[in-house]
């Protein structure tokens, strides 16, 4: 354990840490390897906040190679208890529009082959991910988004795929018919690993496109990388503003169940 208690962390695009004051870079290593980049720690108002650029500060790590376990473990070692994450999402529904933000309440994992648990050796544990996102942080985020009059959704299921390619039309229509509202490549296993470390996790999706298009809407073109980058750039500012509003509202003490995720979950005898 590193001798430093930082309560809140942000995982996301690389622009965020420029808002922190007195930033210190910590190049750390964990038993799961090195995180995506240095852990940046700085002040945001009265709070000390950690930040990791999920894809590296120069965006050199594709979603399927993000060291998810090392990222969560590194934050855990700093004492982080709450994670606010942002990421681009494609929309699978007409009412989830590019340019809007969404606060996830569920995910469906369609990825494969990712190292997605801290419990794969001598300790057996089965944590509940029935509610994978922190209810307390979701409430704060939704109130802050309302105050800022942002166009946002306070819930939504995100389908998580391995990538890096975008979906076929057939895949996209399966994901929406199976109940997902949005699609993304990084929410899994990030959210699940945070739960295994009993951290609160908030996922904010920046809707950039309509994935492979929408059924029966020939006017809506399938996603392209250049379109994602264009809309994402516009959305980052909104998401950053939202995070700046959320952080001061986070109470010192947690009242949600996230901190008790391992109670009764470990079945290995001591």
94 in Cβ contact with 19 (< 8 Å): no
Helix ranges (DSSP H) in 1-117: 68-77
Tokens representing residue 254 in the block: 């947690």
Catalytic residue among 105, 120, 211, 219: 211
Q: Which part of the chain contacts Zn ion (CB under 5 A), choosing from 34-42, 70-78, 190-198, 253-261? A: 253-261
| Closer residue to Zn ion in complex, CB, 181/254 | 254
Our answer to whether residue 209 is catalytic in this structure is yes
Q: Does 220 bind Zn ion (CB under 5 A)?
A: no
For Zn ion, the binding residue among 244, 256, 265, 266 (CB under 5 A) is: 256
Strand partners, 108: 159
Q: Which part of the chain contacts Zn ion (CB under 5 A), choosing from 35-43, 120-128, 156-164, 195-203? A: 195-203
Tokens representing residue 194 in the block: 């945070």
Binding mask 125-144 toward Zn ion (x if CB under 5 A, else -) reads ---------x-x--------
| Closer residue to Zn ion in complex, CB, 80/161 | 80
Q: Which part of the chain contacts Zn ion (CB under 5 A), choosing from 4-12, 118-126, 189-197, 254-262? A: 254-262
Q: Taking the complex as a whole, how short is the minimal distance between the CB of residue 10 and Zn ion, in angstroms? A: 16
Tokens representing residue 28 in the block: 């750390």
Q: Does 262 bind Zn ion (CB under 5 A)?
A: no
Binding mask 165-194 toward Zn ion (x if CB under 5 A, else -) reads ------------------------------
Our answer to whether residue 37 is catalytic in this structure is no
Helix ranges (DSSP H) in the chain: 68-77, 135-147, 169-177, 187-196, 225-249
167 in Cβ contact with 175 (< 8 Å): yes
Q: Does 83 bind Zn ion (CB under 5 A)?
A: no
Q: Does 202 bind Zn ion (CB under 5 A)?
A: no
Hey, is 255 helix, strand or coil? Answer: coil
Catalytic residue among 3, 37, 209, 245: 209
For Zn ion, the binding residue among 38, 72, 182, 200 (CB under 5 A) is: 200
Q: Does 103 bind Zn ion (CB under 5 A)?
A: no
Best CA proximity match to 214, nearest among 89, 91, 104, 98: 91
Beta strands in the chain (DSSP E): 8-12, 21-26, 39-44, 47-53, 82-91, 101-103, 106-109, 152-153, 157-160, 182-184, 200-209
Number of residues near Zn ion (by CB under 5 A): 5
Neighbour count for residue 94 (Cβ, 10 Å): 12
Residue ranges in contact with Zn ion by CB under 5 A? 134, 136, 200, 256, 258
Q: Which residues are catalytic?
A: 209, 211
């Amino acid at each position: 354990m590193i001798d430093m208690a930082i309560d809140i962390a942000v995982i996301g695009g690389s622009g965020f840490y420029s808002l922190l004051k007195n930033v210190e870079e910590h190049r750390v290593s964990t038993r799961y390897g090195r995180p995506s980049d240095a852990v940046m720690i700085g002040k945001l108002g009265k709070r000390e906040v950690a930040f990791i650029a999920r894809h590296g500060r120069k965006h050199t790590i594709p979603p399927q190679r993000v060291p998810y376990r090392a990222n969560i473990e590194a934050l855990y070692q700093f004492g982080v208890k709450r994670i606010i994450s942002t990421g681009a999402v494609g929309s699978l529904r007409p009412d989830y529009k590019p340019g809007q933000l969404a606060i996830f309440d569920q995910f469906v994992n369609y990825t494969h082959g990712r190292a997605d648990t801290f419990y794969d050796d001598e300790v057996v544990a089965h944590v509940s991910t029935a509610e994978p996102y922190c209810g307390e942080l979701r409430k704060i985020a939704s109130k802050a988004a309302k105050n800022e009059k942002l166009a946002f959704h306070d819930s939504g299921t995100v389908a998580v795929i391995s990538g890096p390619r975008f979906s076929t039309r057939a895949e996209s229509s399966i994901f929406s018919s199976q109940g997902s509202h949005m699609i993304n490549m990084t929410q899994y296993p990030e959210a699940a690993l945070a739960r295994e470390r009993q951290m609160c996790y908030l996922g904010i999706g920046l809707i950039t496109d309509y994935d492979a298009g929408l059924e029966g809407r020939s006017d809506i073109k399938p996603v392209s990388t250049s379109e994602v980058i264009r809309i994402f750039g516009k959305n980052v500012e909104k998401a950053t503003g939202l995070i700046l509003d959320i952080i001061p509202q986070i109470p010192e003490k947690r009242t949600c169940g996230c901190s008790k995720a391992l109670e009764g979950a470990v079945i290995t005898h001591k």
